[in-house]
Amino acid sequence: MIDKKAIRKGFVFKKYEAPFQSPFDRIFEVFKELITHTSGDFDEAIEWLRELDKEYMLTTDDYSIDDFIEDLKKKGYIREELDPDGNGGMAITAKTERAIRQQALDHIFGKIKRSGKGNHKSKSPGIGDEHTGDYRNYQFGDALDKVSMTESLKNAQINHGIGDFNLSEDDLVVEETLHKSQMSTVLMIDVSHSMILYGEDRITPAKRVAMALAELITTRYPKDTLDILVFGNDAWQIEIKDLPYLKVGPYHTNTVAGLQLAMDLLRRKRNTNKQIFMITDGKPSCLRLPDGQYYKNSNGLDKHIVNKCYAMAQQARRLHIPITTFMIAQDSYLMQFVREFTYANQGKAFYTGLKGLGEMIFEDYETNRKKRIRG
């Protein structure tokens, strides 16, 4: 006799219990956010941490902020350092820099996983090294190592029966795979003064996206390359390790200099697939003239500066380098400039604001580096 209670189904609801975190790990999560906002300034981050502790009681009687600082030293996250004046202080180490990049990656990549947007469609699956879970009939010329033996044997049993087992060519199926191309990417970050104007911190989200993208590429796509440059009055390349310390300067926006440096970097790459990602508020206001002087106009979109930007976009197009612009301002006249700039390059533009910036860059990176081809 079947016990009806044994097969009863339903849902059990209980009070949510957060995963256990040690006092250090709990405070360290907050500290990593603060050290990003303070551009690597340890003393300022600790000041903010103490203020947050007063308001939100991050510490306990058994574990104080001073205990946390001691643990940071013991675990190798900070070190003592002398400034040019000979005064001592604490600074973050490479271990902390890696932890910040990993946190940025988890924050952005986790949102993409939860979004449920799925993979981007393309026309033709084929030979590659990433399994899709889709199957098709075997065709002459398909590599034998691509044949799914489990599915093929199942077809043979269905078609011929177990008693008279026979495996024919018609039973064979091949699993579709995704071809992953190598990609060389240059990420351009606007560090002009407008990136912190109007009470909006635009540089911290841009910095966080750069750290996450760097961590993604170095850990998951090691054959890809990522170069990062910043542009203000001029443009200069920075290393991944410099990202936590990146600050906005008293600069105008020399978009042309940034594009010139980006294309110079990509010309040296052997990968066929190249692209430029540009994070900006979309207002070019500066050019460096042949004599070394700067031509500046911060009142609006100067025609001379704008035309130089369009010319650079067309040059990148001729070199088969698409430019994807992530526009983080909403001014209509600036958006019109970005639209014309994008048309000149035949690239793409996203008018993101700051919300969703990371998710958009990640999804676009994944789209551009993957393509489906037929063998």
Closest CA to 72 of 54, 55, 56, 93: 93
DSSP states of 313-363: HHHHHHTT--EEEEE----HHHHHHHHHHHHHHT-EEEE--STTHHHHHHH
Q: How does residue 120 score in pLDDT terms, banded at 50, 70 and 90?
A: very low
| Cβ–Cβ < 8 Å for 297, 285 | yes
Q: How does residue 114 score in pLDDT terms, banded at 50, 70 and 90?
A: low
Single-letter residue type at 23: P
| Residue 1, pLDDT score | 56
- Return mean pLDDT, the chain: 84
Higher confidence at residue 124 or residue 286? 286
Phi, psi of 15 (to 5 degrees): -65, 135
* pTM of the entire predicted model: 0.75
| Residue 297, pLDDT score | 94
Phi, psi of 246 (to 5 degrees): -70, 130
Closest CA to 113 of 366, 368, 375: 366
Place of tokens 């949510």: 16
Q: Give the three-class secondary structure for 107.
A: helix
| Residue 28, pLDDT score | 96
CB atoms within 10 A of CB 82: 10
Tell me the CA distances in angstroms from 10 to 5, 6, 7, 13, 14, one per residue in order: 12, 12, 10, 10, 13
| Residue 88, pLDDT score | 78
Question: Which of these ranges, 180-189, 233-242, 258-267, has the smallest mean pLDDT?
Answer: 180-189
Q: How does residue 8 score in pLDDT terms, banded at 50, 70 and 90?
A: low
Q: Is residue 58 over pLDDT 60?
A: yes
What percent of the chain lies above the pLDDT cut of 90?
51
Q: What is the pLDDT of residues 294-346, one digit of tens each?
A: 999 988 789 999 999 999 999 999 999 999 998 887 788 888 999 999 999 99
Q: Give 96's DSSP letter.
A: H
Place of tokens 């990049």: 101
| Residue 118, pLDDT score | 35
| Residue 247, pLDDT score | 93
Q: What is the pLDDT of residues 356-370, one digit of tens each?
A: 788 888 888 877 776
Q: Which CATH class name applies to 183-371? A: alpha beta
346: left (phi over 0), alpha (psi -120 to 50) or beta: left
Closest CA to 182 of 370, 375, 319, 316: 370
Q: What is the pLDDT of residues 204-259, one digit of tens each?
A: 988 988 999 999 888 888 889 999 999 999 999 999 999 999 999 999 999 999 99
| Cβ–Cβ < 8 Å for 367, 180 | no
